[in-house]
Each structure stands twice: as C-alpha cells, then as structure tokens.
Amino acid sequence: MHNDSRARFTRETTRRWEDVEPIRSGAPDTGELDLEDRQALRRVAGLSTELQDVTEVEYRQLRLERVVLVGVWTTGTAADAENSLRELKLLAETAGSQVLEGLIQRRQRPDPATYIGSGKAQELRDLVVATGADTVICDGELTPGQLRQLEEIVKVKVIDRTALILDIFAQHAKSREGKAQVELAQLEYLLPRLRGWGGNLSRQVGGRAAGGVGIGGRGPGETKLELDRRRIRERMSKLRRQIREMATTRETMRTMRREREIPAVAIAGYTNAGKSSLLNRLTGAGVLVEDALFATLDPTVRRARTPEGRIFTLADTVGFVRHLPHQLVEAFRSTLEEVADADLILHVVDGSHPDPQSQLAAVRQVLAEIGAADIPEIVVINKADVADPVSLATLTARERHSVVVSARTGEGVDELMRAIERELPRLDHEVRVLVPYDRSDLISRAHREGEVLSVEHTGDGTILHARVLGDLFGELDRVGKPVETV
C-alpha cells in the first residue's frame, strides 16, 4: 500500500511538472516583465482628491488627471507651435493624465506676470470651469512669480513643462542611481519655488514669535520656509555625494573596457524614437519597449559583434526632448558620459515624425552640452515601415551619413551593422606570428577582438595572420615568433 501511494505521488508530481514545463520554456524577458508591472499601476481618472486651496502645491505629489494645455508661440511657424503642443500632450498622457483642451497664444515674448497675459488668463479660467479640468500645464518653464499669479487666476493647480518631465522621470526611474538623479533634479527645481503661504510656513522657530517659550526660545529665530530650504540643500548635498560614488563604479567599468580596447558605441536620440527597440534588435537585450515618452531611463550596456566578428559594446541612454530641463542634464551627467566616452554615436531619429529635423537639432544641442559634438555619428532613421517614403528621401538627402532601418521588422539592420563596422576604430597592427599551442587563448582573443586573415596549424604551433589592436599586438609580439624566422 505504501509503495502504491509513492508511485501515485510520483505520477502526479511528474504530470504537474510536465504542465509547468512549457510555461518555463517561454518565460518573458526583463522588458516584458517591466512593461507588465508598469501597466498594472495606471492612474484612474475621476478619483481626484485635490484641495480647493492650491497654495501648497509644491508640497504635494503631482496627481495629473484632467488637464488643459496652454502654449505661447513666440518664434517659428504655426506648425512648429502645434507640434510642440502635441508633444506636450504626449508628455501629459505619459504622466497619466487626460488632456481635455489645448490653447496656443501668439506673443512676441511670454508675459512676465502670468505667462499668457491677464486677459488670456481669464479666458483660460473660463475654459477650466467649462471642462472641469483640475490642472493647467504650460508649454515652457514658468518663473515662481508666473506660477503663483496664474494659479491665483485660474484657481486650479498649474505646472510647467519642466515639472511634467520631472514627474515622468520620477515614475519611470528604477535603479538606485536613476532614482537619486531624478530626486536631485526635482529638488533643484523645487528650491527656488518654495513659497511661504499663511501663518504655518512663515512661523518662526524661535524669537518673540515663539511667545511663552521662555529661556532658550528668544532670538531672531528661523522661519519654516528657511528651515525647508536648509533641509533641501542638505538633501541635495547628500544626493550629489551618492551620485559621485555611483559614478565612480560606472567609470571603473568604462576604464576596464578601454583597457581591453573594446570599441564603445552609444545609442542616442529623441525620446520614443526607438532606441531600446534598436538595442533589442541588435543585441537581444530584452529591455522594456513601450510607445511612450521616456519609457526607459536607466542605461543598458550590451556586447555586440560586427559581421566580420569584431566585438563592441552598445549602450542605450536616456532620451532627449526639446527644452530638456537643465536640472536633468546636470543630474544625469554621469549617465550621459556613456555617450561622451563613446567611439561612435548611433543617432536614432523617428522617420515617421512630422518634424524629424527639429528632433535632430534638439539632440545635437544636448550632445554639445556634454562634450560629445565631435564624436563620429551615424544617423539611424528608424520606423521605416510606417514612415512616408517622400519624407525618408528628404531626410536621407539632408543627412548624408545615414541608414534607414526598422527596428520592429529588421529592415536595414544588416546595412547598419556594416556601417558600424566601417566607423569603428581601425585595427592598425598587422601580425604574422607563430603562436605556441599552450597559448591558444591568444588565438581566441584575435578572433574576438581583431580581424583574422588566416590561420595555419603546424607541428610547432599555430601561424596567425591578423589585424589586431595595440594591447593584443604586444602580447603576440612577446609570446609568438615571427614567421620569417621559423
């Protein structure tokens, strides 16, 4: 009886394991799990708990729900202004909001008091009431005074483009370094915008205002606003120290790659241009891919190989956008150094976008800020499967050093890999040596890191004819024997 129970248990266990096994074999990759996790935490419209008093807006986490967009058109064409507002709409939707209306005002410059002028501010207030919006998003960076006065008129929360982008970064940051960088950028933005409203924030810790505290309570005291500013500065100093420590680890990894003389290629480009999709296509990295702005923030470095067998590293970086907040550029400087230290930049641009040239210009502006303007560049025109052929032809005519690809279908990827191989640092040492069989590891390195022209096995060792980099050349010169002397 005991043996029958054991046999039955064994059969049931085997059957259950067979049921599970197909699921294990098709396990999702990291990017799919990240996407599932992100989609499981969506903001729900209509559940707002916003207060009627908006005076403490900086001290509450942003909860965007029903929003109205407003922009000021100062330069360029009407199409440029509309494209900018469409991009703001995508940013707002990425942050989890529902966009109700969008307004553009033609002005020579933004109004210094209310950004759009007092008359338009009253019209905006009427629109907010009519639509039931709880937030206004301005397509620009507002001064603390503009922010305060516009809120007083429209009577709902007002944020600017910079605060919106910072909110998206705060949602999408996953790594310890990314979270610290985003928090530092948020504090740098918040510090000049702290406001002392009402008795609570202007109350002094000591002095006569402390009334009745007695001995030890007298003196000039420190207002609540000053205390908040001091604590923010202390937190910013701590974050900067942490980021410097984490940057040291990143620099150590880059140094190791340089010592091994492995070429580095960085993927840069406008947000949502398809950088992560291209990385997955070239390396099988499996990072998160989503049709949203700033879907991935944390850099990913993977190894890849050219058609001729040369190994190089491919790094995906944070996406860029028009008017990228300078707080983010400073906070993410250690991450952006992956681009500045690269041997080659793959500049990815969305070929289906209405204005790809403006995307290219915005990215190149940031590259210049981080000292990467002189690095060789290949313009990768992505999304060829959905782009207009006429627009692609115009873009390739303007960007001579470009390749048209589709990261989704794989179109043009082979041509891109050949272009990468042509642009990588040249293998300037040609060797023809006899390598002993006990140092076959050098033959393997030549296959991995160099270009092997021929291999011949003899009784004394392997005759290697190859083009290699300086480090491997030194090893082969020390261990091997010139073929002419054999």
pLDDT in tens, the chain (486 residues): 455 555 554 444 444 333 433 333 455 666 665 656 555 545 544 444 444 444 444 444 445 478 999 999 888 888 888 888 998 998 888 888 889 998 888 888 999 999 998 888 999 999 999 998 989 999 988 888 899 899 999 999 899 998 888 888 888 777 788 888 889 888 988 888 876 544 444 444 544 444 544 455 455 555 677 888 889 999 999 999 988 888 777 777 667 666 556 788 988 888 888 888 888 888 876 655 555 566 566 677 888 888 877 778 888 877 888 777 777 777 677 667 778 888 899 999 999 988 888 889 988 988 888 888 888 999 999 999 988 899 899 999 999 889 999 988 989 999 999 999 888 877 667 888 899 888 888 888 888 777 788 888 888 888 888 877 767 777 888 888 888 644
Position 369 scores a pLDDT of: 84
Q: Is 14 part of any domain?
A: no
CA nearest to 42, candidates 78, 91, 93:
93
CB-based contact 174:298 (threshold 8 Å) = yes
DSSP alpha helix (H) spans, 260-355: 275-283, 326-331, 333-340
368 and 450 inside one domain: no
Sign of the CA dihedral 145, 147, 151, 154? positive
404 and 441 inside one domain: no
Position 32 scores a pLDDT of: 61
Position 311 scores a pLDDT of: 79
Position 348 scores a pLDDT of: 92
pTM over 0.85: no
275 and 355 inside one domain: yes
**CA–CA dist 2, 255 (Å, integer):** 64
CB-based contact 136:67 (threshold 8 Å) = yes
Last residue of a domain, one of 423, 439, 456: 423
DSSP alpha helix (H) spans, 198-223: 198-202
Q: Is 189 part of any domain?
A: no
DSSP one-letter string for 122-152: HHHHHHHHHHT-SEEEESSPPPHHHHHHHHH
Q: Is 175 part of any domain?
A: no
CB-based contact 160:147 (threshold 8 Å) = yes
306 and 356 inside one domain: yes
75 and 155 inside one domain: yes
379 and 393 inside one domain: yes
CATH of the domain at 131: 3.40.50.11060
318 and 461 inside one domain: no
299 and 408 inside one domain: yes
Strand order through the sheet with 264-269 = 300-305, 311-316, 264-269, 344-350, 377-382, 402-404
293 and 408 inside one domain: yes
Q: Is 243 part of any domain?
A: no
Last residue of a domain, one of 170, 202, 222: 170
- Please state, as a whole number, how many other Cβ atoms lie within 10 Å of the Cβ of residue 35: 16
410 and 268 inside one domain: yes
Q: Is 213 part of any domain?
A: no
444 and 416 inside one domain: no
CATH of the domain at 265: 3.40.50.300
**CA–CA dist 94, 97 (Å, integer):** 7
Terminal Cα distance for the chain, rounded: 78
415 and 289 inside one domain: yes
Q: Is 297 part of any domain?
A: yes
In the chain, how many domains are there? 3
Last residue of a domain, one of 375, 403, 423: 423
Q: Is 343 part of any domain?
A: yes
Q: Decide: helix, strand or coil at residue 39.
A: helix
Q: Which domain holds residue 457?
A: 429-485
Position 69 scores a pLDDT of: 93
Q: Is 384 part of any domain?
A: yes
